[in-house]
């Protein structure tokens, strides 16, 4: 048996796709092929990245294509095809346009990369992952969405800034759907084991003020994607979503058994059956290997249920529109 280098297919070579290609190359995760419907663009972008190989010291192939056949044999497929949010536009507004695109993408992944693990980034995330699973018919451990890693990283970043500590020591997790109902888990947030709530109370010497500051960070986390959209004017966040998906891809390719919040299929866990929603999972060589169930208190469970209901509405819309 000959060993072979992993192959990573990127469907969508836009803003996120470009950073995904560069990060995959820099970390030598495997050979990269970037597909886009726009002629020549993925070829140009990947040529540009490949020509930095000597300087950056990576030795993997980075190619662009307009032909799905070139994704054949891919181990991981990361999907960003679709339109990004425009200012003032909700993720849900994107539903119809992106569902059509994802359906075609899924059919091609099924045909050309039937053994791959698929990470979806396209919004509205929870709905697009569901559609990807439905159309490919892949088992649930091989189809997942990226949202929680990014939302959690945003939450951790705000906590680090507020407390003046290294972000490397902050652990914070966000569950639920990737929308305004997401659930930043305040009670579990900690700085190297020290509860963030306690640290805030010590900083301000006042429980009410500490709660106010935490609430503001939670709100900022929920609206963080929109904050970037409003500043960029055109397009949405792309560096941080790409980094987050690469962390997931690396966890799978290197069988790292990372515990990460991922948009995963629930089969009864958290009291949810037959729905994709953001929860902590063990991510390793077999994709989503296990959903990690945390004990939520009543308030957290209510917020989680609210978030699940928002995802259910999206799925109902998809059914009404004939996509599911």
Which of 64, 84, 145, 184 contacts ligand APR by CB under 6 A?
84
Report yes or no: 216 and 204 within 8 Å, Cβ to Cβ.
no
* Comparison of 15 and 141: residue with beta carbon closer to ligand APR: 15
* Comparison of 49 and 191: residue with beta carbon closer to ligand APR: 49
Q: Catalytic: 178?
A: yes
Taking the CA of residue 225 as centre, how many other CA atoms within 13 Å lie in the half-sphere pointing to its CB?
24
> Do you find a cis peptide bond into 144, omega within 30 degrees of 0?
no
Smallest separation (angstroms) from ligand APR to the CB of 249: 15
Return the beta strands (E) in 36-189 as ranges. 62-65, 76-79, 117-120, 143-145, 170-171, 174-175, 183-184
Which of 8, 50, 62, 81 contacts ligand APR by CB under 6 A?
81
Extract the tokens encoding 38.
Answer: 């726009």
Report yes or no: 201 and 208 within 8 Å, Cβ to Cβ.
no
Extract the tokens encoding 275.
Answer: 């729905």
Smallest separation (angstroms) from ligand APR to the CB of 79: 8
In the chain, what's the furthest Cα-to-Cα distance? 64
The contact pattern for ligand APR, residues 20-59, with x = CB under 6 A and - = no contact, is ----------------xxx---------------------
Extract the tokens encoding 154.
Answer: 């945003």
If one asks whether residue 13 binds ligand APR (CB under 6 A), the answer comes out as yes
* Comparison of 107 and 206: residue with beta carbon closer to ligand APR: 107
Secondary structure class of 88 (helix, strand, coil): coil
Which of 241, 278, 280, 284 contacts ligand APR by CB under 6 A?
241
Residue from 133, 142, 154, 178 carrying the catalytic annotation: 178
Return residues touching ligand APR (CB under 6 A).
11-17, 36-38, 80-85, 98, 101, 104-105, 121-123, 235-236, 238, 241
């Amino acid at each position: 048996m000959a060993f072979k280098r992993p192959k990573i297919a990127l469907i969508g070579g836009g803003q996120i796709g470009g950073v995904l290609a560069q990060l995959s190359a820099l970390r030598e995760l495997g050979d990269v092929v970037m597909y886009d419907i726009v002629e020549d663009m993925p070829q140009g972008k990947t040529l540009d990245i490949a020509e930095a190989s000597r300087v950056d010291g990576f030795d993997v192939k980075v190619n662009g294509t307009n032909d799905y056949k070139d994704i054949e044999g891919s181990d991981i497929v990361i999907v960003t095809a679709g339109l990004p949010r425009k200012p003032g536009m909700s993720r849900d507004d994107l539903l119809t346009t992106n569902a059509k695109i994802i359906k075609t993408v899924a059919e091609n992944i099924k045909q050309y990369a039937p053994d791959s693990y698929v990470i979806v980034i396209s919004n509205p995330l929870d709905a697009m992952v569901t559609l990807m699973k439905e159309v490919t018919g892949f088992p649930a451990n091989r189809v997942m969405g990226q949202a929680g890693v990014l939302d959690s990283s945003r939450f951790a970043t705000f906590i680090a800034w507020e407390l003046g500590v290294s972000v490397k020591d902050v652990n914070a997790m966000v569950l639920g759907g990737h929308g305004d109902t997401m659930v930043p888990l305040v009670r579990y947030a900690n700085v190297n084991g020290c509860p963030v709530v306690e640290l805030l109370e010590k900083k301000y010497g006042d429980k009410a003020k500490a709660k106010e500051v935490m609430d503001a960070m939670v709100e900022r986390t929920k609206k963080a994607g929109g904050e970037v959209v409003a500043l960029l004017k055109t397009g949405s966040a792309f560096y941080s979503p790409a980094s987050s998906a690469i962390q997931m891809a690396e966890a799978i390719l290197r069988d790292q058994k990372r515990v990460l919040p991922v948009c995963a299929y629930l089969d009864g866990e958290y009291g949810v059956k037959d729905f994709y929603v953001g929860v902590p999972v063990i991510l390793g060589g077999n994709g989503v290997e296990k959903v990690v169930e945390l004990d939520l208190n009543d308030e957290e469970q209510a917020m989680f249920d609210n978030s699940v209901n928002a995802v259910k509405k999206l799925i109902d819309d998809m059914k009404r529109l004939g996509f599911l």
